[in-house]
Amino acid sequence: MRFNTSLLHAGVQREINGSTLPPVYQTSAFEQDTAADLEKIFENKAPGYCYTRVANPTVTAFENRITKLEGGIASVACASGMAALTNVFLNILRSGDEIVSSASLYGGTIDLFEDLSAFGITTRYVENNNWKEIEAAINEHTRLIFAETIGNPCLDVTDIKKLSQIAHSHGIPLIVDNTTSTPYLIRVLEHGADIVVNSSSKYINGSSNAISGVLTDSGKFKWDKEKYPGLADYVKFGPMAFVAKIRNGLFRNIGACLAPVNAYLNLIGIETLGLRMERECGNAYELAQWIEDTYPDIKVNYPGLKSSPWHDIADGELTNGYGAIFTLRVGSKENAFKFIDSLTIPYTLSNIGDTKTLVIHPGSTISLHSTEKQKEDAGVFEDLIRVSVGIEDIEDLKEDFANAFNVIKE
CATH value at residue 33? 3.40.640.10
Distance CA 92, CA 186 (A): 25
Co-location of 214 and 306 in the same domain: no
Which CATH number goes with the domain that contains 369? 3.90.1150.10
Q: Which of residues 44 and 133 earns the better pLDDT score? A: 133
Under a CB-based contact definition with an 8 Å cutoff, are residues 342 and 408 in contact? yes
- The confidence score (pLDDT) of residue 1 equals 87
pTM metric for this prediction = 0.95
- The confidence score (pLDDT) of residue 203 equals 98
Count CB neighbours of 48 within 10 A. Answer: 12
Mean pLDDT of the chain: 96
**Residue 16 banded pLDDT, cuts 50, 70, 90:** confident
Co-location of 319 and 209 in the same domain: no
Q: Which long-range contacts (CB under 8 A, 24 or more apart) does 226-232 make?
A: 227/143, 227/171, 227/172, 228/92, 228/143, 229/94, 230/91, 230/92, 230/94, 231/92
Q: State the total domains in the chain.
A: 2
Co-location of 211 and 100 in the same domain: yes
- The confidence score (pLDDT) of residue 11 equals 84
Distance CA 213, CA 340 (A): 29
Distance CA 337, CA 208 (A): 23
**Residue 223 banded pLDDT, cuts 50, 70, 90:** very high
Co-location of 240 and 307 in the same domain: no
Strand partners, 146: 101, 175
Cis peptide before 362 (omega within 30 of 0): no
DSSP 8-state symbol, 391: S
At 360-390, the pLDDT tens digits run: 999 999 898 899 999 998 999 999 999 999 9
The type of residue at 162 is: K
Residue 51 has pLDDT above 90, yes or no: yes
What average pLDDT does this structure show over 12-29?
Answer: 90
Co-location of 260 and 127 in the same domain: yes
Distance CA 119, CA 207 (A): 36
**Residue 177 banded pLDDT, cuts 50, 70, 90:** very high
Under a CB-based contact definition with an 8 Å cutoff, are residues 235 and 59 in contact? no
Co-location of 235 and 182 in the same domain: yes
Q: Which long-range contacts (CB under 8 A, 24 or more apart) does 169-174 make?
A: 170/138, 170/142, 171/224, 171/227, 172/138, 172/142, 172/143, 172/144, 172/145, 172/227, 173/92, 173/144, 173/145, 173/221, 174/144, 174/145, 174/146, 174/147
Co-location of 38 and 69 in the same domain: yes
Residue 410 has pLDDT above 90, yes or no: no
Please say which residue of 252, 269, 286 terminates a domain. Answer: 269
Domain span holding position 53: 3-269
H/E segment holding residue 328: strand 325-329
**Residue 14 banded pLDDT, cuts 50, 70, 90:** confident
- The confidence score (pLDDT) of residue 364 equals 96
How far, in Å, are 104, 153, 341, 366, 385 from residue 360 at the CA level? 17, 10, 10, 9, 6
Co-location of 63 and 208 in the same domain: yes
What average pLDDT does this structure show over 183-203?
Answer: 98
What average pLDDT does this structure show over 33-43?
Answer: 94
Co-location of 59 and 88 in the same domain: yes
Residue 405 has pLDDT above 90, yes or no: yes
End-to-end alpha carbon distance in the chain = 53
How far, in Å, are 54, 80, 201, 203 from residue 198 at the CA level? 20, 9, 8, 9
- The confidence score (pLDDT) of residue 331 equals 96
Helix (H, G, I), strand (E, B) or coil at 33: coil
Co-location of 249 and 280 in the same domain: no
Distance CA 166, CA 149 (A): 16
Backbone φ and ψ of 288, nearest 5°: -65, -45
DSSP 8-state symbol, 157: B
H/E segment holding residue 216: strand 213-217
Residue 15 has pLDDT above 90, yes or no: no
- The confidence score (pLDDT) of residue 12 equals 87
Co-location of 348 and 260 in the same domain: no
Co-location of 165 and 297 in the same domain: no
- The confidence score (pLDDT) of residue 44 equals 86
Please say which residue of 235, 269, 303 terminates a domain. Answer: 269
